[in-house]
Amino acid sequence: MAIAGKPFTAACVQMRSGIDPEANFAAAEALIREAAAAGATYVQTPEMTNVLQRRRKGLFDVVRTEDEDASLKGFRALAADLGIHLHIGSMAVLVGEGAVANRAYLIGPDGTTRARYDKIHMFDVDLTGGESYRESALYQPGDKAVLADLPEARLGLSVCYDLRFPYLYRALSQSGAEILAVPAAFTRKTGEAHWHVLLRARAIENGAFVIAAAQGGTHEDGRETFGHSLIVAPWGEILAEGGTEPGVITARIDPALVADARGSVPSLRHDRSFRLHDPSRLAGAAE
């Protein structure tokens, strides 16, 4: 059995990103510095830290390749300056002609990129009341689950809508993830209904910490996000929660609690294969 890492302080930076990447970087930098000053050695920002823009032309006017993105360069320098693991929950990054990724970055204390993750599940939904989103019209989905190592624990990466697909988190946890990262820009409507229960469920069913930095408030592009950044313990307790305004929350992360939870309820080791019996299909085949 692996020896659990030492406890450490983690932080969520809650933002209200707009359509100007330069302004968003300045807002993020101030909050990241605040988190580091509070003792956080792992700091997570929300989905779409660099720009929150629903309009295709507006997005393509400002999106850049990874090598050309000024915000990413700034975040790398900031992580090195503060000596922290900085997890940029996601950024819009140009990955080809007419192709943009919703990509997360884990940056080490030396300023190098330790891991990249492209959001797998695209938010294509029609909510009651006329609210509609087609993320796949703007972004290219990823196809790889990603794990990364912090000094104290193993981190499983995800982004926002991924939260509704529990098999991703089970695969990450069964591969050793002790912390599940869920940076997000949940809508106000879906957040009010599902945010807390889904995050706590992912923590409980995997015996893992869940750290979820969020966007919150009414944004320049017209959308309204839920906020309420959360840090959840492996037994499902909420350790820290934000409101709807930009800010920072922190919590002490003790990796030993993961081993305790998984030892008490070892469901990650109890998978069994099964067959699906559907009488209606059998009846249809007989006809």
> DSSP class of residue 184?
B
Q: Which of 28, 14, 9 is nearest to 213 (CA)?
A: 14
- DSSP assignment of 2-39 equals PPPPPPEEEEEEEB---S-HHHHHHHHHHHHHHHHHTT
Note whether 139 and 168 are within 8 A (CB): no
Catalytic residues: 47, 119, 160
**Structure token digits, residue 233:** 């313990």
Q: What is the token pair recorded at 101?
A: 């990724």
Helices 21-37 and 70-82 cross at an angle (nearest 10°) of 10
Q: What is the dihedral of CA 197, 202, 205, 211, to 10 degrees?
A: -110
Can you list the alpha helix ranges (DSSP code H) found in the chain? 21-37, 56-62, 70-82, 166-174, 188-190, 196-206, 256-264, 279-286
Amino acid identity for residue 120 in this structure: I
